[in-house]
Chain A
Amino acid sequence: QVQLVESGGGVVQPGRSLRLSCAASGFTFSSYGMNWVRQAPGKGLEWVATIWFDGSNIYYADSVKGRFTISRDNSQNTLYLQMNSLRAEDTAVYYCAKDAIISSGFYFFDYWGQGTPVTVSS
C-alpha cells in the first residue's frame, strides 16, 4: 500500500534553515509528481511546492519562492523540501502528497503523509 512518511520537522529560529524529507513506498515513485502542502495551526491547507515525476518542472507558492527548494531522489524514493530564511509565518504542519495521475501535469493529490510539524520561533 502507498506510504508517505515525512521527517525533519522541529523547532528552529527565524532566519535559520531546515530540510524536510518524505520517504515513499508502495508505488513507482519515479512515475508521479509530488507535492508539499502545509497547514498553519488552526488554519486551512496551503499548497507550497510541486515537482514533476522527473524533476523537469518545479512550481512554488509565492509565499515561499526564493526561500524553499523542492527536490527528489528517484533512486531513494525520497522527496525533499529545503527551507531557508525561515519566518514565524512558516510555522505549520508540512505534508507531502502524491499526484493521483501518472506522468506530468496539474493533478489532484490521492495520498498524503501524516505530516511533520515545523515551528519557527526564537
Chain B
Amino acid sequence: DIQMTQSPSTLSASLGDRVTITCRASQSISRWLAWYQQKPGKAPTLLIYKASTLESGVPSRFSGSGSGTEFTLTISSLQPDDFATYYCQQYYSYWTFGQGTKVEIK
C-alpha cells in the first residue's frame, strides 16, 4: 500500500502570507496526485489534479508542483476563504489520502 505523509499537520499563517504544504509518497506515484480543500462540516472540494493542474474555478493563487514522491501545494497570498484543511491524495495505485494539514489564523 502507498502511504501519504503531509507536513506540517497544522500551519498558522496570516492574511497575505505565502503558504506551502508538503506531501510525500512512500513510493513513486509519478504525477498522479490531487489536492483537496475541506472546510468544517463540508465535503472536500478539488483544487488540483495531476500534481499541478488547477481545477476549473479554483483561484490562481493556488498552485501545485512535484513528481515521484515529493509534492507541494502553495497558496501565494493567503485569503480569508483559504483557512481550511488540505488533503493530498494519490491515485496511482488505488487511493490514499494524506492525514491533512489545517491552515489556521495566526
Contacts and interface: CB of A to CB of B under 8 A. Distances in A.
B89 interface: yes
Contacts, number: 53
Interface string A41-57: 00011110010000000
A35 B44 CA distance: 14
Interface in B29-57: 32, 34, 36, 38, 42-46, 49, 55
Nearest to A109: B46
Contacts of A114: 42-43
Q: Is the interface of B mostly helix, strand, loop or mixed?
A: loop
Contacts of A50: 94-95
Nearest to B85: A44
Chain B interface extent, by class: 20 to 34
A107 interface: yes
Interface string B65-103: 000000000000000000000010101111111111000
Contact of B97 (A46, A112, A115): A46
Nearest to B87: A45
Q: Is the interface of A mostly helix, strand, loop or mixed?
A: strand
B95 A106 contact: yes
Interface of B: 1, 32, 34, 36, 38, 42-46, 49, 55, 87, 89, 91-100
Interface of A: 35, 37, 44-47, 50, 59, 62, 95, 100, 106-110, 112-115
